């Protein structure tokens, strides 16, 4: 019996079909699942049958660890982190779980012996796209790190029936297709139909004094729905810890409204059921753009109420009745303001349902919550019209008024007579239409507030939360984002992982700082050659994918310059297009120009209602069409838009990049995390001093980073003096030619209207200062091309980038949260001698 289990990988002592890890056992368990779960024999089994049979085989090994974790946490009454997030952008489970179990090679071999190819089975998985972008993906990286660091944690969120839409490109435009990710079943979740919790909406409140003289408020809702729990185990890397991701689905309380049914209103009764289930039907596809829809507020309240009721249930399970130590058992992190309603909901549960005095409840609430802000964009700051809020959550509005009244009383003591400050700090925005400001609710109700990169945290204190910072500076800190090296290196870049591990061992996967040991190798010519060959292989595979998917041939020897992220004006994809057109213009002017061959790769989704973002996608595709077909270009320039950018595609793209484009207007990107994934995979960065770019540049060394553009301070000055973008356009002949070429209809079959909004925006207003940064960007690019011509120099810089990226592991970020905010300790999980934990 051969065993490919890496040393140090935890195994159970007995080798049974559900938990054993030898190749032979894995093969037998796999066939067993094909028969008895899928109900198939090999001759008729589809690839999906095989995928599911394998997924269940892996799941059994997960469950062993998960149940032991749950039991240990319960027995030891461990302090637990609860991460509340409206989004968890997990990406496919199978590959990641194999890596974390240390079973990737063993399963690959077991499949080979069965006549199957693991890679093909991995491709079968529909990724759970339960998030929009960076914020949701961060939550997933943090769940991975929490488990890897053996921290007891629960992720709470929403089980959307449809996740982020699939993007198709038709005639250059984005078309949205419903994401039916659950169509073929989800082997990674365990439904808990008995774990159901009621959630109320609407109606009214009344108050009375009870027989013990207590003032009590009763909330009579208009509608009650049920939250049903769906549990997914999240395994750490080569540890026995598997934490819980608990997502909630909304159901009608009864399948029919019996009274309506009996009075003959069958359709009315069924409608009631449909209305309940609509709450968790679909993810709002807006990234950093508020929609203000009632259903969205219902989603937010729905999952927060379920989460908090569940925590109280777990707390009481441990035998304690009185909730005075709730904050000692749980610490709750609010992932932006989407779960901020939790502050009012915990107060309601403690005061109304558990009859706790207000002051005590408020103490517990504030000690329970901490709040992470992820954006400074004004249009992304959540606020709810008072009437909408009050009609949906009448009791919460009262509670918020009371929180606000007491809060403003305290402020008054500190700043007597400063009415302006009171108005600015108030949870209720009273200028014009009245709103509940969710960031203020989160700030008042939390003991800790953080931004997600040094620059962002500073700007937060100077702008959006300035008055809160002046009031309670001790609450504020920075927690720079990080990414998990398991998914974003080990799984997605096996070539580089092998090369690094050969030289410095495998410790770096858990202690990313260890990558620093690569520094001396930057001068090693043989190592550099291997390094370049790994990158080239990754580029070849991406080139093949591009050919298969969109029929464009790209040269893997060309410089791969990549910009993938949500489409947003502040992220300035169109600045990169201006640069591409500039290169094209040069080639048209000088057909024999010797130029470094370059491939520009774009990818990203636009919010369906964001007109400008969709026009930018059309713009990229239109420019790509013209350039890729123009013979004058020969093989010196290619432009590609990859449809449906998601986690799965990210795993192909980051390892294949030479150049990472991080070109947002300074002051707008809170952190960015794609920037980290690129650099970790050996891409060099061309970027502005924005978000975490600042810290990446510091870490890798200014000489290994291509910096351009105005700083936050310079932009502020520019705007103070009245920014006149047309002066920049008129002042730079090349820029003017580029804009004129677009306006002439050159990229739109002569249509001079199509891209007019885009060009006019730039010319007149240019909110994100593309024209101000254009020259600096173009100049910087020249430096990039110069260095790229010296492949040895490029490889050296690439190695140094990777060697110095250790700080950007999500493990580092989670350690900081644990020490500074959560005050939680690791809990070791030991597997018992038998699978059923009876020993």
> Which residues bind to ligand GPV, rule: CB under 6 A?
132-135, 138, 287-288, 336, 374-375, 380, 452, 481, 669-673, 691
CB-nearer residue toward ligand GPV: 493 or 673:
673
* DSSP H or E segment with residue 706: strand 706-707
Smallest distance from ligand GPV to CB 739, Å: 28
Contact 774, 766 (CB under 8 A): no
CB-nearer residue toward ligand GPV: 378 or 417:
378
Smallest distance from ligand GPV to CB 715, Å: 17
- Return phi, psi of residue 124, to 5°: -70, -25
Smallest distance from ligand GPV to CB 512, Å: 18
* DSSP H or E segment with residue 64: helix 47-76
Q: Indicate which residue of 487, 565, 568, 572 is catalytic.
A: 565
- Check if 241 is active-site: no
Q: Indicate which residue of 673, 685, 688, 796 is catalytic.
A: 673
- Check if 461 is active-site: no
Q: Indicate which residue of 65, 636, 677, 812 is catalytic.
A: 677
Q: Indicate which residue of 571, 572, 761, 804 is catalytic.
A: 571
Smallest distance from ligand GPV to CB 302, Å: 18
The residue at minimum Cβ distance from ligand GPV is 134
Is residue 836 helix, strand or coil?
A: coil
- Check if 605 is active-site: no
- Sign of the alpha-carbon torsion through 178, 183, 188, 194: positive
Question: Alpha helix locations (H) across 254-385?
Answer: 258-262, 266-278, 294-317, 326-329, 342-348, 358-368
Look up tokens 């390094």; give the residue: 531
CB-nearer residue toward ligand GPV: 327 or 568:
568
Q: Indicate which residue of 93, 366, 374, 568 is catalytic.
A: 374
Long-range contacts of 311-318 (CB under 8 A, 24+ apart): 311/82, 312/349, 312/354, 313/197, 317/74, 318/74, 318/77
* DSSP H or E segment with residue 712: helix 712-720
State how far the Cα of 790 lies from the Cα of 787, in Å rounded to an integer.
Answer: 5
Smallest distance from ligand GPV to CB 234, Å: 18
Smallest distance from ligand GPV to CB 571, Å: 9
Could you give the maximum distance between any two Cα atoms of the chain, in Å? 93
* Residues in contact with 737: Cβ distance below 8 Å, sequence separation at least 6, in sequence order: 585
- 3-state DSSP of 71-129: HHHHHHCCCEEEEECCCEECCCCHHHHHHHHCCHHHHHHHHHHCCCCHHHHHCCCCCCE
- Check if 673 is active-site: yes
How many angstroms separate the Cα of 399 from the Cα of each of 139, 166, 407, 427, 434? 29, 40, 12, 12, 17
- Check if 354 is active-site: no
State how far the Cα of 550 lies from the Cα of 168, in Å rounded to an integer.
Answer: 11
CB-nearer residue toward ligand GPV: 374 or 636:
374
Q: Tokens at residue 305, please?
A: 């109420």
Smallest distance from ligand GPV to CB 672, Å: 5
CB-nearer residue toward ligand GPV: 438 or 637:
438
Reference 801, options 534, 522, 500, 560; nearest CA is 522
Smallest distance from ligand GPV to CB 425, Å: 21
- Check if 677 is active-site: yes
* DSSP H or E segment with residue 429: strand 428-429
Contact 617, 169 (CB under 8 A): yes
Enzyme catalytic residues: 374, 565-566, 571, 673, 677
């Amino acid at each position: 019996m051969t065993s490919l289990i890496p040393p140090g990988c935890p195994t159970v002592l007995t080798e049974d079909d559900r938990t054993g890890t030898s190749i032979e056992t894995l093969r037998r368990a796999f066939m067993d699942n094909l028969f008895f779960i899928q109900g198939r024999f090999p001759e008729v089994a589809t690839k999906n049958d095989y995928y599911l049979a394998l997924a269940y085989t892996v799941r059994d090994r997960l469950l062993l660890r998960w149940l032991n974790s749950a039991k240990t946490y319960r027995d030891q009454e461990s302090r637990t982190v609860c991460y509340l997030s409206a989004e968890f952008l997990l990406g496919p489970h199978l590959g990641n779980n194999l890596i974390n179990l240390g079973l990737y090679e063993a399963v690959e071999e077991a499949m080979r012996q069965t006549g199957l190819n693991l890679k093909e089975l991995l491709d079968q998985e529909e990724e759970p796209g339960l998030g929009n972008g960076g914020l949701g993906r961060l939550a997933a990286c943090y769940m991975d790190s929490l488990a890897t660091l053996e921290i007891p944690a629960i992720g709470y969120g929403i089980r959307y029936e449809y996740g982020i839409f699939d993007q198709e490109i038709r005639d250059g435009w984005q078309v949205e297709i419903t994401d039916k990710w659950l169509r073929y079943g989800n082997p990674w979740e365990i439904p808990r139909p008995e774990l159901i919790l009621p959630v109320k909406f609407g109606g009214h409140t009344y108050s009375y004094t009870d027989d013990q003289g207590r003032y009590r408020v009763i909330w009579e809702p208009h509608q009650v729905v049920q939250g049903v729990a769906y549990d997914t185990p999240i395994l750490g890397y080569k540890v026995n810890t598997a934490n819980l991701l608990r997502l909630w689905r909304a159901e009608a309380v009864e399948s029919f409204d019996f009274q309506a049914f009996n009075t003959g209103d069958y359709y009315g009764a069924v409608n009631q059921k449909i209305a309940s289930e609509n709450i968790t039907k679909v993810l709002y596809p807006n990234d950093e753009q508020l929609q203000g829809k009632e259903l969205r507020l219902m989603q937010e309240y729905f999952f927060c109420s379920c989460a908090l009721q569940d925590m109280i249930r777990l707390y009481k399970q441990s035998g304690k009745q009185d909730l005075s130590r709730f904050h000692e058992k749980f610490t709750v992190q609010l992932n932006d303001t989407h779960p901020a309603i939790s502050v009012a909901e915990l107060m309601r549960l403690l005061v109304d349902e558990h009859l706790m005095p207000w002051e005590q409840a408020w103490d517990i609430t504030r000690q329970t919550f901490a709040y992470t802000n992820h954006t400074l964009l004004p249009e992304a700051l959540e606020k709810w019209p008072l009437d909408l809020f009050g009609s949906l959550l009448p009791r919460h509005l009262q509670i918020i008024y009371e929180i606000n009244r007491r809060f403003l009383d305290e402020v008054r003591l500190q700043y007597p007579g400063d009415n302006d400050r009171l108005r600015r700090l108030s949870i209720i925005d009273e200028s014009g239409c009245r709103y509940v400001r969710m960031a203020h609710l989160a700030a008042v109700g939390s003991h800790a507030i953080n931004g997600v990169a040094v620059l962002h945290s500073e700007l937060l204190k100077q702008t959006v939360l300035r008055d809160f910072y002046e009031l309670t500076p001790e609450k504020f800190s920075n927690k720079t984002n990080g990414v998990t090296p398991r998914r974003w290196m080990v799984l997605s870049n096996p070539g580089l992982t092998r090369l690094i591990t050969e030289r410095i061992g495998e410790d770096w996967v858990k202690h990313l700082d260890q990558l620093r040991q690569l520094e001396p190798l930057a001068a090693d010519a043989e190592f550099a050659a291997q390094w370049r060959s790994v990158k080239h292989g990754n580029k070849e595979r991406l080139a093949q994918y591009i050919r298969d998917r969109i029929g464009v041939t790209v040269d893997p020897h060309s410089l791969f310059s990549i910009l993938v992220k949500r489409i947003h004006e502040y992220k300035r994809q169109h600045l990169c297009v201006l640069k591409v057109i500039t290169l094209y213009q040069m080639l048209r002017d000088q057909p024999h120009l010797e130029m470094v061959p370059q491939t520009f790769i774009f990818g990203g989704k636009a919010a369906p209602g964001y007109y400008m973002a969709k026009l930018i996608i059309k713009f990229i595709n239109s420019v790509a069409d013209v350039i890729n077909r123009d013979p004058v270009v020969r093989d010196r320039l290619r432009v590609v838009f990859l449809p449906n950018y998601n986690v799965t595609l990210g795993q192909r793209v980051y390892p294949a990049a030479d150049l990472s484009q991080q070109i947002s207007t300074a002051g707008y990107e809170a952190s960015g995390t794609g920037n980290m994934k690129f650099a970790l995979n050996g891409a060099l960065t061309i970027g502005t001093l924005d978000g975490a770019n600042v810290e990446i540049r510091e870490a890798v060394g200014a000489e290994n980073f291509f910096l351009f553009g105005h700083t936050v301070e310079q932009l502020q000055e520019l705007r103070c003096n009245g920014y006149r973008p047309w002066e920049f356009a008129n002042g730079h002949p090349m820029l003017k030619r580029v804009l004129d070429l677009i306006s002439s209809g050159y990229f739109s079959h002569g249509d001079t209207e199509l891209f007019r909004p885009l060009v006019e925006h730039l010319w007149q207003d240019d909110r994100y200062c593309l024209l101000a940064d254009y020259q600096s960007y173009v100049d910087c690019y020249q430096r990039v091309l110069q260095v790229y011509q010296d492949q040895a120099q490029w490889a050296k810089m690439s190695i140094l980038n990777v060697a110095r990226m250790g700080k950007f592991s999500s493990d580092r970020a989670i350690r900081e949260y644990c020490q500074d905010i959560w005050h939680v300790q690791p809990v070791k999980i030991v597997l018992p001698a038998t699978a059923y934990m009876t020993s």
